Chain A
Amino acid sequence: MPMPMAVSMAAHGVHDVDGAPAQPKRARVTPHEELAALLREHGALIVRIARSHECDRGRAEELVQDIHVAIWQALPKFRGEANVRTYVARIAQNRAITHVTREARRPRSAPLDDIADVMPTDAATPEDAAAETQARRRLQRAVAELPLALRLAVTLALEGFSPNEVATVLGISESAASVRLHRAKAALMERIGDA
């Protein structure tokens, strides 16, 4: 965990993700600094989750902002949460569901291809970089096309959450989460294969 977040959580007597006691109080952190630290740490996760639910670039940005607001409002609760990343993912998925429900009646205007940026990669050659970008777009498109219940599970799995954490985020049993993940991964692989 980067220093700002560790300092922020230590200031509020929070334990670290792995259960170890946080550092002793060192500095008073304002809510704005706390939000900024959280977003530095988990901002990419939030944007990836938002983009998996919204293919229009402008609306995806709106959704990201909505998630930031929800995180801002939930800051006091963060102070009691052991696993901040899981908590951020919960909020992001919750806001995404609200967004999907509200936006369903608005017409789509942007092609799905637009959701991916051309990101700098570690690829050795420009050709490799282009292939990587293409593969990422195919993956993002396949995720976005999944039914919502499967999409919720698969985005968490792609973010590296364990079945236990997926169960916690979704509020379902671990066995149900495992079944959901199995179905979601199969559906995703099938779509990638078809692409």
Chain B
Amino acid sequence: MSTTDWTELTRLWQSDVPAAAPALEVIARQQRRAWAWRLTWIAEVVITILGVAASVWAMTSDKPHGPIIGIGTLALTLFAAGASLWARALRRAPSGDASVRASLDDALHRARVSVRWGFASFWIMVPYFLFMAMLAFVTGFGEHPPDALPRMLVVLGVAAIWGAVCQAIAIVYYQARVPELARLEELKRALDD
């Protein structure tokens, strides 16, 4: 390849001078995404606090099966909090280096956190369903006022449907993130080659 060839290609390439307007809409969307991530984190903290409070209340109340329900709630809450912490434990500050290689490392890191988060979200729902089963058992065999049983079954049914929806979302999220992580790892290998 001669220098003239390359000079001509460079001229040709740079002769394309398109213009594009700044993206205020996308800036707003990105800010919303950042807020959504913060809200998720805040929601997890609030749910943990409420879960612990509810379990303490259940254990200390004189309701039938209160201690069992309290211990189950506490175990579920702590498991969920632990799984969330495990998923977020990988999070780290960006490297500060703006090179493509450093950015790819950061993107790989974020993708690994996302995969962990999807994985943790899936498995959080397993003890959740066990807890639901335990509640159903306690409800079915416990002593309640006659009109309370249908209401409790409706609550349990709604909770079970909500759990199923959450687990389905976790599966879809995980399945979307895993190929993204694989592609980033492939790009990293290509860049290191």
Contacts and interface: CB of A to CB of B under 8 A. Distances in A.
A189 to B, nearest CB: 5
A135 B180 contact: no
B10 A160 contact: yes
B101 A172 contact: yes
A97 interface: yes
Nearest to B97: A171
B191 interface: yes
Interface in B1-57: 1, 5-6, 9-10, 12-20, 22-23, 25-27, 30
A171 B101 contact: yes
Contacts of A35: 22
B104 A97 contact: yes
Contacts of B22: 35-36, 39, 68, 72
Q: What does DSSP make chain A's interface, helix, strand, loop or mixed?
A: helix
A17 interface: no
A148 interface: yes
A36 B13 CA distance: 23
A100 B100 CA distance: 13
Contacts of B180: 101-102
Contact of B26 (A68, A135, A148, A169): A68
Interface stretch (A2-10, A21-29, A113-121): A113-121
Nearest to A44: B17
Interface in B84-143: 97-104, 107
B23 A44 contact: no
A149 B19 contact: no
A159 B13 contact: yes
A182 B184 CA distance: 24
Contacts, number: 135
A136 B18 CA distance: 13
A94 B180 CA distance: 15
A104 B183 contact: yes
Contacts of A185: 1, 6
B102 A158 contact: no
Contact of B16 (A100, A116, A186, A188): A116
Interface string A177-195: 0000000011011001000
Interface residues of B, number: 37
Nearest to A192: B9
Contacts of A189: 1, 5
Given A61-B20, A69-B23, A119-B16, A148 B187 contact: yes
A94 B94 CA distance: 13
A11 interface: no
Contacts of A61: 20
B161 interface: no
A132 interface: yes
B100 A97 contact: yes
B154 interface: no
A65 interface: yes
A135 B23 contact: no
20 contacts: A35-B22, A43-B19, A64-B20, A87-B98, A90-B98, A90-B103, A97-B103, A97-B104, A105-B179, A117-B18, A119-B17, A132-B12, A136-B12, A136-B15, A139-B9, A140-B13, A149-B191, A169-B99, A172-B99, A186-B1
Given A65-B20, A98-B107, 16 more contacts: A35-B22, A39-B22, A64-B23, A73-B30, A87-B98, A90-B99, A94-B103, A101-B187, A119-B16, A136-B12, A139-B13, A157-B6, A158-B10, A168-B99, A171-B99, A192-B9
